[in-house]
């Protein structure tokens, strides 16, 4: 993944954002990007609570930590709430036509927390939304959630 990102974005890249599940994507890609440019900000995303609904992501403080995970690689660790990830997943489908999974929604929510007007952020969409089509968040969004750009 790292070489592909470098080929496509090159020296313009300022931030790389990925969720922590097995931590393989974050660790492997992050290390490769760091070799290319030590100034790239590596941002890990994880649930904000041990009791979360973000399938595929781990709350590292309370989970069994994968052996490959090295917390010192992350320049920033962003926490994302379950409803925040659900809302972003809905928005990606409804506003952008991207059917992604909940972990991808969480990753984008995390990326938006670190993005600035002059930054070039690459965020990993690590799962598709097909298996979530029957999930509750499509039917009854929480009060105040964005649906098709309205609140």
In a domain, 64, yes or no: yes
Q: pLDDT at position 69, please? A: 94
Q: pLDDT at position 130, please? A: 78
- 83: CATH: 3.40.50.1100
Number of domains in the chain: 1
In a domain, 86, yes or no: yes
Chunked into runs of 10 residues, the chain (151 residues) has average pLDDT values of 95 97 96 97 96 87 91 97 92 93 95 97 90 68 49 41
In a domain, 88, yes or no: yes
Residue 150 backbone dihedrals phi, psi, to 5 degrees: -115, 155
Q: pLDDT at position 35, please? A: 96
Q: How far apart are CA 46 and CA 56, in angstroms?
A: 10
Taking a C-beta distance cutoff of 8 angstroms, is the pair 45, 142 a contact?
Answer: no
Q: What is the DSSP string of 47-83?
A: ESSSS---TT---TTTSPPPTT--GGG-SEEEEE-HH
Q: pLDDT at position 10, please? A: 93
In a domain, 40, yes or no: yes
Please, which residues have CB within 8 angstroms of residue 129's CB and are 6 or more apart in sequence? 89, 93, 99, 100, 101, 104
Which residues span the domain enclosing 54? 2-138
In a domain, 150, yes or no: no
In a domain, 147, yes or no: no
């Amino acid at each position: 993944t790292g070489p592909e990102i470098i080929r496509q974005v090159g020296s313009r890249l300022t931030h790389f954002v990925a969720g922590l599940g097995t931590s393989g994507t974050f660790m492997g890609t992050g290390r490769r990007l760091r070799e290319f440019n030590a100034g790239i900000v590596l941002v890990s995303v994880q649930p904000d609570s041990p009791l979360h609904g973000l399938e595929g992501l781990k709350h590292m403080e309370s989970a069994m930590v994968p052996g490959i995970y090295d917390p010192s690689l992350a320049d920033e660790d962003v926490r994302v709430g379950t409803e925040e990830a659900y809302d972003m997943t809905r928005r990606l489908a409804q506003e952008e036509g991207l059917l992604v999974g909940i972990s991808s929604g969480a990753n984008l929510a995390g990326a938006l927390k670190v993005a600035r007007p002059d930054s070039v952020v690459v965020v990993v969409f690590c799962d598709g939304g097909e298996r979530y089509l029957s999930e509750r968040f499509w039917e009854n969004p929480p009060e105040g959630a964005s649906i098709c750009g309205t609140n």
